[in-house]
Amino acid sequence: MFSTYNKALECLARGPKSVKDLTRWLLQRDFPKDEVDATIERLIARNLLNDRPGTASILIADVLRQLDAIDAARQDTARMG
> Which of 38, 60, 35 lies closest to 47, judged by CA?
60
How many residues appear in the chain?
A: 81
Q: What ranges do the domains of the chain cover?
A: 2-80
**pTM score > 0.85 for this model?**
no
Q: How far apart are CA 72 and CA 29, in angstroms?
A: 26
Residue-level pLDDT at 77: 87
Cβ atoms of 5 and 66 within 8 Å: the answer is no
- The per-residue pLDDT for range 52-75, each reduced to its tens digit, is 655 556 667 777 888 888 888 888
Q: What is the dihedral of CA 67, 68, 72, 73, to 10 degrees?
A: -30
Query: How far is Cα of residue 53 from the mean position of the Cα atoms in its chain?
Result: 16
pLDDT digits (tens, 9 = 90+) for 8-62: 999 988 887 889 999 999 999 999 999 999 999 999 999 888 776 555 566 677 7
